[in-house]
A and B are shown apart, each in its own frame.
Chain A
Amino acid sequence: MNLFEALRIAGNGLLANRLRSALTTLGILIGVTAVILLVAVGNGASVQINNQVQSLGANVIYVYPSNARGTGGVSQGFGSGQTLTQADVDAINNRQQAPDVVAAIPIAQSGGQITYGNQNYFAPTTGTTPAFPTVRNYQLAEGSFFTDDDVNARHRVVVLGQTVVDNLFGSTDPIGQTIKISKQSFRVVGVFASKGGSGLGSQDNVVVAPITTVWAYLTGGRGKIISQIVASASSPSVVTQAETEITTILLQRHQIADPTQADFQLQSQQDILTQANSIATALTLVLGAIAGISLVVGGIGIMNIMLVTVTERTREIGIRKAIGARRRDILIQFLIEAMVLSGLGGALGIAVGALLANQAPNIPAIASSNFPTPVVSAPSVVLAFCVSVAIGLFFGIYPANRAARLHPIEALRYE
């Protein structure tokens, strides 16, 4: 019996009970739609996280102080060390020693209430040097960034992110206005163009000032603390070389012979991306697995219906056997019926899932939220279809085998 005949016979059987076939297909359809949609949401989240991490500035390497070791080697926890100095930054900025580094900047963080007129807002204040826009990949929308003179003279000037401007100024032009941070006055000299991104750690929720100013007016008497150094490599392909160069410079400067005893640690954008991706992948897998449960339920539906079908058509099976159908012929007939049901459900489910994923951004409630735009990937489509056909095969085998093993005489007598 060839495949075409088998498909024709299976189609005939399925069309005989249109409603039943349609409902069984619906079970698989819903399962596949759920898989396609949820995996698409997971992929969308992954893309969103990637974009957000990328927007932090490409090729960026972070240097953090290691856990400080007190007397007796007591570790005082992440970031508690104060081992990084302006001299370290200058050494990394030496092109002879670190040819693959474009620029390095020191960062001093301070929190504080920001006020303008009767508005107030909370944002972290970052103290740094004029290379900040280059290293962190910021564009100026208005005004200009502060200069080396501002750093040397500890001028009280700030550059604001878009979110801060929106919250403090409304429609007023912020350039030249004076704001207060922790009760100290600062003049706004520039505004960054929005980098997009959202949620925690938005790149637009920033206040940037000269590092010397931050030390003098905001971090109080705690000295010239550099909480991290941010360096950018000249291209993504040389990030690893740049990391090696920075490590070499700092180990030498800090007079540490054993790299495992380093009092600093490096993290590159790649590291962060890798972490973010592994989280996103886990999310996609969990969502897919949840949707997969409904696919299994659909498969059980197929098995149930196929068992009913085999019982109902016992006499037909008897006739087919009497006129020469072998076990294999009957087995294939019912297996193909089950696989047509599940394959059809799979194909329709992919269509519905892709359509929903495609239309999701047009739904106002989703468009206005931070919900990730679903991304339907080709492998998930192929996989979903193959899995749905495989489910037909798996759940069809038992009923089909039952049909194939019927004894012709008993099957013919069945009423």
Chain B
Amino acid sequence: MITLEGVTKTYRMGKLEVAALQGVDLHVGRGEFVAIMGASGSGKSTLMNIVGCLDVPTGGRYLLDGTDVAKFDDDQLAVIRNRKIGFVFQSFNLIPRTSALHNVEMPLVYAGERGRTERAREALGSVGLADRVHHQPTELSGGQQQRAAIARALVTNPAILLADEPTGNLDSVSSVEIMRLLANLNAEQGRTVVLITHEQDIARFAKRVVELRDGRIVRDERSAA
């Protein structure tokens, strides 16, 4: 599913070169629920950007579903993100002044697919927002917004769900709700979930925890369950 082989990423900041990732090898199989942990500056955001095809590695190989995406240009990456990756962000990132339904339809619009409204309604129903489809983001609670965002991530039926600190802006009750939802999607539908977090409590929901420090993997543990 996801295979990283010796991935490095170097940023140039003026004359200074900053190595955010220094050779990461990681394999995530279908149906896994992985939490990537690490303090800020550990390189986990960079890793997420690369796994999410928002950025390409400087060195090494990244195979997504067997395809090497290192050589893709911006538009090809956009197509990959559209078809294979569902994003869930810390700050929800719903488009303002646009109903939950239209937000969830958006990836299908860019994919140029038919039957968008039905599929968007279905996705919203599956996250328990069937009665909120016409609400705008500002009319939804944080937990509801994040659920709408999860519906948007799921609507294209992507290979992996990539959640970047999905509970960072939520209270503890909503956080647990969202994590249960992600855990259910993994357990019941067999979705591959990659979770990025710095909270131990949140990482506990995952079946496997990978810890990054200074751009290298320092821990990779599967929980007993």
Chain A residues in contact with chain B, CB under 8 A? Answer: 1-2, 5, 12, 15-16, 315-316, 318-329, 408-409, 412
Contacts and interface: CB of A to CB of B under 8 A. Distances in A.
Contact of B78 (A15, A315, A321): A321
B2 to A, nearest CB: 17
Contact of B95 (A320, A329, A408): A320
A329 to B, nearest CB: 6
A324 B95 contact: no
Contact of A323 (B55, B97, B110, B112): B110
B117 to A, nearest CB: 12
Interface of B: 49, 52, 54-55, 74-75, 78-79, 81-83, 87, 89, 93-98, 106-107, 109-112, 152, 156
Closest 9 CB pairs of A and B: A324-B82, A324-B110, A326-B75, A326-B78, A323-B107, A319-B93, A408-B54, A325-B110, A5-B109
Nearest to B106: A323
Given A316-B95, A323-B106, A326-B79, 4 more contacts: A16-B97, A316-B96, A322-B54, A325-B78
B47 to A, nearest CB: 13
Given A12-B98, A320-B95, A322-B81, A327 B74 contact: yes
B110 A326 contact: yes
Classify the interface of chain A: helix, strand, loop or mixed: helix
A1 B81 contact: no
B78 A409 contact: no
Contacts of B110: 1, 320, 323-326, 329
Contacts of B87: 322-323
B109 A1 contact: yes
A324 B93 contact: no
A409 B75 CA distance: 14
B74 A324 contact: no
B152 A323 contact: yes
18 contacts: A1-B112, A12-B97, A16-B96, A16-B97, A318-B93, A319-B93, A320-B106, A320-B110, A321-B81, A322-B81, A322-B93, A323-B82, A323-B152, A324-B156, A326-B79, A409-B54, A412-B89, A412-B93
B85 to A, nearest CB: 9
Contacts of B94: 319
A299 to B, nearest CB: 27
Contacts of B74: 326-327
Nearest to A15: B97
A315 B79 contact: no
A319 B82 CA distance: 12
Nearest to A321: B78
Nearest to A13: B97
Contacts of A322: 52, 54, 81, 87, 93
A323 B81 contact: yes
Given A324-B82, A324-B83, A315 B98 contact: no
B102 to A, nearest CB: 8
Given A12-B97, A316-B95, A324 B79 contact: yes
Given A12-B97, A322-B54, A327 B75 contact: yes
A318 to B, nearest CB: 8
Contacts of A412: 54, 89, 93
Nearest to A316: B95
Nearest to B110: A324
A301 to B, nearest CB: 23
Nearest to B156: A324
Of listed B78, B93, B156, residue having the most chain A CB within 10 A = B78
A69 to B, nearest CB: 79
A318 B52 CA distance: 13
Nearest to B55: A409
B49 A324 contact: no
Contacts of B156: 324
A324 B107 contact: yes
Contacts of B96: 16, 316
Nearest to A315: B93
Contact of B49 (A12, A316, A409): A409
Contacts of A318: 93
Given A316-B96, A319-B93, A324 B81 contact: yes
Contacts of A15: 97
Contacts of B111: 324
Contacts of B89: 412
A319 B95 contact: yes
A2 B79 CA distance: 16
A97 to B, nearest CB: 80
Nearest to A322: B87
A223 B83 CA distance: 101
A5 B116 CA distance: 12
A333 B3 CA distance: 35
Contact of A328 (B75, B82, B109): B75
Contacts of A326: 74-75, 78-79, 110
Contact of A324 (B55, B78, B97, B98): B78
